[in-house]
Structure 1
């Protein structure tokens, strides 16, 4: 589930809204480095961001909704930064893609652990699954990266691969990232290669 049409229109129409939301997301990302999400209040975020609580509530219902928005924004930025995401397939052939993915999760482990855990955000999980499936599909087929879930054909290998990768990632986060991102990338890549042994390109 991505940002609502109303929210996207509001952001595009008013630069002040974009700046305020970006400041709130950045503030939460900073705060969650030092304490669990469950211990961060709206007052904490508003005070650190230099805005009133009423301004916070103009944009988000609570801290958890802000966390979901921060994660989905970071996921989109991560996907956009992956080399070859235009469908050329170069990302699919590069081990650096997996390393980038796990390094990003590790850098923001506290936030992702909160929103992807048992009491986390279905919105973030669905958004991450959609973007992962779309990226795998684009790498497999050489097609452009779809912007909407509805634009992705029913592709079993892409959905299977995205689901497996997310399962591995969430388990790693839940266990406190017991091994470094480079090791996770090295452990995961052979499994994905085995899945696509007969495919012309690799998904990760």
Structure 2
């Protein structure tokens, strides 16, 4: 579960608005300078609130970053859960998720670059892997595990690790390939596996 998600109960609209302003302020500042150089005062100034208001909503700058992180990943996986048709096959589902994932990472490129470079949340890689794994564990919930040669949680963890590793490499490579091309390659890897993909080329 997210470490610092806002409470699920309905918040006062003013609270919601202030937290949104603070999250957007941090995201804007990440476009301009390294996370370690950003101060609470910077965030408060950008959000046009005072520091006391900041501390009414978030304990620290890291707490705010965690909230931003949860918001980004919840949007990626939450909307996929809500929007995805229930009658998709496994192949259709993974195509749907791959396409959405790479487009979303490109949309929030600065955020993911900052997080993967470990300038902020040091366990982000593991954190994102857990989001992927939980998503797939839920999707596999109705599959009879006794008919599988590999445990469902192992499959989900493998897929999650593969996605995060590929995304990280894509970012490090300057995102030279389009989200569509990355989606195509990820679908092939998911369908065939890396070893079989290499074998098929020989």
User: Considering the TM-score relative to the shorter chain, is it more than 0.5?
Assistant: yes
Cα separation, 2, equivalents of 1:67 and 1:171? 23
Cα distance change of structure 1 residues 118 and 155 upon mapping to structure 2, 3 Å threshold = same
Count of aligned pairs: 185
Q: Which has the larger radius of gyration?
A: 2
Cα separation, 1, equivalents of 2:136 and 2:163? 11
How far apart are residue 62 of structure 1 and its match? 3.7
CA RMSD of aligned residues (A): 3.1
Q: Contact 2:22/2:44 (CA < 8 Å) preserved in 1?
A: yes
Residue in structure 1 matched with residue 92 of structure 2 by the alignment:
93
How far apart are residue 88 of structure 1 and its match? 4.3
Residue in structure 2 matched with residue 70 of structure 1 by the alignment:
68
Do residues 16 (structure 1) and 35 (structure 2) align?
no
Cα distance change of structure 1 residues 66 and 55 upon mapping to structure 2, 3 Å threshold = same
Gaps of 5+ in 1: 144-152, 196-204
Cα separation, 2, equivalents of 1:4 and 1:71? 9
Gaps of 5+ in 2: 144-150, 194-202
How far apart are residue 160 of structure 1 and its match? 0.8
Cα separation, 1, equivalents of 2:91 and 2:139? 6
Cα separation, 1, equivalents of 2:101 and 2:177? 14
TM-score (norm 1): 0.73
Residue in structure 2 matched with residue 202 of structure 1 by the alignment:
none
Residue 171 of structure 1, aligned match among 149, 156, 169: 169
Cα separation, 2, equivalents of 1:92 and 1:59? 42
